[in-house]
Structure 1
Amino acid sequence: MMDEELIRRVMEEVMRRIRQASDETTADSAPATPRSSVMAIFTGGTIGREEGLAALKELQEDACHLTVVLSRAAETIIGAERVRQHLGEDVTIVTPDSPYPGKALRQADLVIVPVLTQNTMAKLAHTLSDTLPTTLIMQALMLGKPVIAAENAADPRDSWRAGLEMDKAPIVLVRAFQENLRKVRDFGVNLTDVRNLGREARRALERSHAGGREAAAPQAAAPAKKNLVDAEKIKAVALSGGRVYTVAPGDLITPLARDTARDYGVEIIRANT
């Protein structure tokens, strides 16, 4: 007959290994909880498109939930299928034919524009919200959400345009484009090179989460303001026919005020806390 102590130890080891295998299976199968929600808005340009998709992939690997919005032109130039090839089948894609993503916008911690075209930039600079991207960007700004846009496609002096020999515009036109960029920047959009898009996005998310923790932290109650009750205040009450002067719990009453109250027949009452 086997020793009972030996049997007990064998059973404990078997149960330990079963629990360990179960925990490992659960950990492997459970999807990572998204830490942040990001809305990415593509307009119909090609400059910086691939770099923008790469930046979104990095954010996705950081456990960010992505909602990708495609303008009508972006549907043709980029396409939902290309987005899914880069970001997976489960990514949420919104087009102009989809229901308006108001809820997704409100839940977003950050709005990114990986490709900001000159056309969209001009509309934003003149506060025109006649397309899905411009409406979402303007509403994001009005909701106080951080907005980051890659400026390469909108910048007339960008190196990519030079490589395509599209940097020969008259100086007046160049200045007009640059003025639009300035206006958009002044509206609160963080314009950056698309190659820095991922880094700027992570910084914005860190600031957003830090701000949320500060807002959630309990604030120390401000000390109650103390008023000084002097003889003049008591006299004013008496001369107006009053017979009672109520003071707040923290108010300070001068000795002369007490004497004046006694002389004028005014009763000083301290309010309850």
Structure 2
Amino acid sequence: MDSRHSTVAANILLGLSYGSRTAELKKDYPQVLTLLANHFIGMEEGFAAIRKLGASNVRLRLWVEDHLLHTMTLEEIVAQSGVDDIIHPTNSPLLSPTEADVLFIPVLSLSLLSRLTQLDTGHPFVQLIVSALCAGIPVGALTLGAEPGHYRWGEQGLSQASPFLKEQMLAMVSKIESFGIKLLEPDKVGNWLSSAKAPLKKQVLTAEDIRSALKLDRTSIVLSRHAVITPLAADMAREYGIELQFK
């Protein structure tokens, strides 16, 4: 059996193993999409943060970076994270930011950090993160993987970076913070999520939006499930045959 079929079979087995959670997953909990990258430090803390989130009233989905599957199997990722709703990188369509209420980055790898600072939207994680920020969706990241001054780096024998290298890492972290990404310590993730829930995106569709759609000859508008539609916008959409779709 080739690796592609092995992956499909593994996904089927995981679905069967965790099918008992179906009723729970249907509850209207905030949806947290977790973007899991591979890195040489911070994996243990990242998985611990995911498990802690999973113990709260949220719905977790895990989008796994392809590179991570070179070092861990899907079964190992499920065991470490406690999450069985996993999006495989190679056979999933590009996700829309409206499919989640919150984005969480448990492992800020230097590769992902560098791509983020360059706004390299050719990478699917970066495209989703940038889209989420533009849509007003909260994005948080554990920064241990890019903080060479953290004691965990010293514990793993990684404390000898030059001052310039450390400066460059911290500069990149500061830059993504300026983009709107919330920088988190492992023990602050729950507090951040609680505060992020309050301003969950309230997209407002107005008559002006309908007029703009008409100018572009659009026949449908995709809205988040939290969207608010003004009465005039609803009337205009019906009048002009513009379909309002909810994600």
Residue in structure 2 matched with residue 53 of structure 1 by the alignment: 47
**Amino acid of the structure 2 residue aligned with 1:118:** L
Report whether the alignment pairs 1:125 with 2:117.
yes
Residue in structure 1 matched with residue 157 of structure 2 by the alignment: 165
Residue in structure 2 matched with residue 31 of structure 1 by the alignment: 24
Deviation at 1:59, TM superposition (A): 2.8
Q: Distance in 1 between matches of 2:23 and 2:86?
A: 23
Asked if structure 1 preserves the Cα contact closer than 8 Å seen for 2:120 and 2:126, the reply is yes
Q: Distance in 2 between matches of 1:48 and 1:203?
A: 24
Asked if structure 2 preserves the Cα contact closer than 8 Å seen for 1:45 and 1:77, the reply is no
Aligned CA distance change for structure 1 residues 83 and 145 (closer, same or farther; 3 Å): same
Residue in structure 1 matched with residue 64 of structure 2 by the alignment: 70
- TM-score norm. by structure 1 comes to 0.60
Report whether the alignment pairs 1:155 with 2:147.
yes
Deviation at 1:188, TM superposition (A): 0.4
Q: Distance in 1 between matches of 2:114 and 2:58?
A: 30
Asked if structure 2 preserves the Cα contact closer than 8 Å seen for 1:46 and 1:115, the reply is no
Q: Distance in 2 between matches of 1:117 and 1:172?
A: 18
Q: Which residue among 90, 93, 97 is the counterpart of 1:100?
A: 93
Q: Distance in 1 between matches of 2:98 and 2:121?
A: 18
Deviation at 1:115, TM superposition (A): 0.3
**Amino acid of the structure 1 residue aligned with 2:127:** T
**Amino acid of the structure 1 residue aligned with 2:141:** A
Greater shift, 121-130 or 79-88, is seen at 79-88
Q: Distance in 2 between matches of 1:130 and 1:210?
A: 28
Aligned CA distance change for structure 1 residues 152 and 79 (closer, same or farther; 3 Å): farther
Aligned CA distance change for structure 1 residues 172 and 140 (closer, same or farther; 3 Å): same
Q: Which runs of 5+ in 1 are unaligned?
A: 1-28, 219-273
Deviation at 1:30, TM superposition (A): 5.0
The percent of aligned pairs where both chains have the same amino acid is: 22
Residue in structure 1 matched with residue 106 of structure 2 by the alignment: 114
Aligned CA distance change for structure 1 residues 173 and 79 (closer, same or farther; 3 Å): same
Asked if structure 2 preserves the Cα contact closer than 8 Å seen for 1:42 and 1:71, the reply is yes
Deviation at 1:111, TM superposition (A): 0.1
Deviation at 1:53, TM superposition (A): 2.5
Residue in structure 2 matched with residue 42 of structure 1 by the alignment: 36
RMSD value, Cα = 3.1
After TM superposition, the structure 1 = structure 2 runs for residues 83-232 of structure 1, keeping only pairs within 5 Å, are: 83-86=77-80, 91-103=84-96, 105-208=97-200
Runs of 4 or more off by more than 4 Å in structure 1?
86-89, 209-212
Aligned CA distance change for structure 1 residues 78 and 160 (closer, same or farther; 3 Å): farther
Q: Distance in 2 between matches of 1:151 and 1:207?
A: 23
Q: Distance in 2 between matches of 1:210 and 1:61?
A: 26
Aligned CA distance change for structure 1 residues 118 and 54 (closer, same or farther; 3 Å): same
Aligned CA distance change for structure 1 residues 208 and 120 (closer, same or farther; 3 Å): same
Bigger Rg, which one:
1
Q: Distance in 1 between matches of 2:122 and 2:173?
A: 19
Q: Which runs of 5+ in 2 are unaligned?
A: 1-21, 205-225, 231-247
Q: Distance in 2 between matches of 1:127 and 1:160?
A: 28
Aligned CA distance change for structure 1 residues 139 and 77 (closer, same or farther; 3 Å): farther
